[in-house]
Amino acid sequence: MTDFLAMHCDEDWMMVDATIIRWVFLTVSKDIFHTVVRDGDDAYMVWTKIIGLFTDNKLQRIVFLQQEYFGCHQNDSSIDAYCMRLKTLSDELNDVIFKVGDELLLATLTAGLNEDLGNAPSNLTLMANPTYERAVAYLRLEERRLKNLRACPAHAAFAAGYSHGGSTLAPPPGATAPRCLRSLARRCL
């Protein structure tokens, strides 16, 4: 045990203490630091006050985080932004001793998807041992596929008519179809 009161007279200890306080100042946001620190605080007091900001009122924090977590929806955000938001909220819940396991994270992820990815949850059930990470990888690919489909709707209509014997004009000799048209035509054939 160290007698902290006696350490205030030790010059080496005071330099270490000041170094730790400086490190905390450079590490946490300025708002948080200035909220808790007062003149005369030592490193232990500063650290204790900062921890208290995040662990005090634990029940209220759990309630607010749960509301935000279970109410989180993708809406117009990308899969990456949506998944990062869910993961951040689940980490914050884990920090206040409310365990969010992989199954709950996966269930919340699929429940909040926008309508563009409406079929994704049923496709994920076909996956052997689905995990959050594997679901995110699948959803990122699915989002990319949908983005490519939206990027060339005129070519898609051409490919659909061409592959089903429609009355579309043949491309000029030597011309190559756009990349998205070629991939679409392969799928249709």
Same domain? 43 vs 63? no
Same domain? 119 vs 43? no
- Give the model's pLDDT for residue 163: 55
- Give the model's pLDDT for residue 180: 55
CA dihedral (34, 38, 44, 49) positive or negative: negative
Please tell me which residue, 21 or 99, carries the higher pLDDT value: 99
189: pLDDT strictly greater than 80 = no
Same domain? 144 vs 69? yes
* Structural domain contains residue 170: no
* Structural domain contains residue 159: no
Same domain? 41 vs 64? no
Least confident of 83-87, 94-98, 172-176: 172-176
Same domain? 42 vs 80? no
* Domain end point (choices 27, 55, 83): 55
Same domain? 82 vs 141? yes
Same domain? 28 vs 43? yes
- Cα-trace Rg, the chain: 28
97 in helix, strand or coil? coil
Dist. CA 106–CA 139, nearest whole Å = 12
Residue 35: domain span: 4-55
Total domains in the chain come to 2
